[in-house]
Amino acid sequence: MSAPDPDRATAASAFYSRWAPGYDYLATHAPGVRRLRADLVDSLDLSPGDTVVDVGCGTGATLPALRERVGPEGRVVGVDFASGAVARARARIERAGWRNVAVCRGDATRPPLCHADAVVASFLIGMLPDPAATVREWIDGLGPDRIALLDLARSHRSPGRPLNPLFRLAVRASAPPGTRAHHGESPARVLDRRVAAAHRTLLETCTATSHETRAGGFAYLSAGRP
Ligand SMILES: C[S@@+](CC[C@H](N)C(=O)[O-])C[C@H]1O[C@@H](n2cnc3c(N)ncnc32)[C@H](O)[C@@H]1O
């Protein structure tokens, strides 16, 4: 696993803390994002009573759908390193009155837990220095029965492909420090490379896999059983 860069991690965490309110709005109101989250959660095939970990949970936009699937007897644990995002996720839990949903501050590359029935990560992979190693770490360390990833990257098919230049600009404008150009690679290239590596690792390591693209080919959804 490539060594995490503490400066980049601290800067990225501060970025998401600062922008948590605006990010939360986008994470819940952007066109099509609810459907994508619902499909991500469906792909986990959760049962009542399951324990599911949402790594890099941000402001907790996926927590409601996860809580609905595992029911009051299951457990949902979110992990994120940005204090502002964690505070917002906790406020969401408080408002909903869920007693079996918790969010802790921690590193998504080493979630502070020993077992989960399922692991999910949405829009996180582009921020991880070595996503393939992290996916393997989740599988080996948490021993889940299911794992699912949802990410955005450049589109390789129509109708999205002609819009890639716009996507690149959006990535550049919104890139948190951990995904900004380094070693001469643009933020969009870093994102593409990381998303491809993580999804490939999941698809090569798991059985009963599914992989689809949505939103004009910009959204990548992969799931499987380790
Ligand atoms: C684009 S947001 C996605 C949030 C959420 N999963 C969603 O779908 O809305 C990425 C989140 O990952 C968190 N993150 C990035 N790298 C992390 C790491 N190494 N450990 C913990 N959290 C991390 C950031 O703080 C941020 O909240």
Q: What is the pLDDT of residues 15-30, one digit of tens each?
A: 777 787 788 888 888 8
Rounded to whole angstroms, what are the CA distances from 169 to 154, 173, 196, 216?
Answer: 11, 6, 20, 17
183: in domain: yes
1: in domain: no
195: in domain: yes
Count how many domains the chain has: 1
108: in domain: yes
221: in domain: yes
Q: Please choose from 8, 15, 81 the residue to mutate so as to test ligand 1's pocket, defined by most ligand atoms within 8 A of CB.
A: 81
Q: Looking at the predicted structure, is the pLDDT value of residue 2 above 60? A: no
Q: Which domain holds residue 216?
A: 6-225
Which amino acid is present at 20?
A: A
Beta bridge partners of 79: 55, 104
Mean pLDDT of the chain: 91
Query: Who lines ligand 1 at CB under 6 A?
Result: 12-13, 16, 27, 56-58, 61-62, 80-82, 85, 107-109, 122-124, 127
207: in domain: yes
pTM of the model as a whole? 0.93
Q: For 107-149, what is each residue's pLDDT tens digit? A: 999 988 889 999 999 999 999 999 999 999 999 999 999 999 9
* CATH (domain of 160): 3.40.50.150
Torsion angle, alpha carbons of 43, 108, 214, 165, to 10: -170
192: in domain: yes
